[in-house]
Amino acid sequence: MTHQRARTELDSEPEQNIIYQLRKVVNLRGLGQYKPTPSEIKNGISNPKTFGSRWIMFDNGMEQVDLKVAARVTAKFEKMCRPSDKLIFQKKISRSYTDLLNGLKGK
């Protein structure tokens, strides 16, 4: 793998990382901006309620996450010591919002 190719992969990865997205929600206090996909624009799905904050991209689609839940998940992630535990937790919570809540509860 070339150095330039590795750099582009590292640059594109943070937007897909669930922890990065949750930290962004916490840091911006939920004041991010939702950008609709081209298919949503084409279909005319431009609900003003969706243009707001706290939208997280999960494996199953985009959902809105409460600011307090995002803060609790990032705090739990930071308390973990082993990188393997962090990776398992990250994979578990990245599936859907219900999996995020179950991961927070420890199920």
Query: pLDDT category, 10, cuts 50, 70, 90?
Result: very low
Predicted confidence at residue 31, as pLDDT, reads 66
- Judge whether residue 11 has pLDDT over 70: no
Domain count, the chain: 1
Q: Give DSSP secondary structure letters for 31-89.
A: -------HHHHHTT---TTTSSS-EEEETTEEEE--HHHHHHHHHHHHH---HHHHHHH
Query: pLDDT category, 1, cuts 50, 70, 90?
Result: low
- Rounded mean pLDDT, 11-36: 70
Predicted confidence at residue 44, as pLDDT, reads 65
**Predicted TM-score (pTM) of this structure:** 0.66
Q: Which domain holds residue 50?
A: 3-105
71: its two tokens:
């803060």
Q: What are phi and psi of 60, to 5 degrees?
A: -95, 5
Predicted confidence at residue 50, as pLDDT, reads 42
pLDDT digits (tens, 9 = 90+) for 29-69: 766 665 666 776 777 665 544 434 677 888 888 888 888 99
Share of the chain above pLDDT 70, in %: 66
The gap from C-alpha 85 to its chain's centroid, in whole angstroms, comes to 18
CA angle at 42 for the pair 50 and 17, rounded to the nearest 5°:
50
The gap from C-alpha 1 to its chain's centroid, in whole angstroms, comes to 28
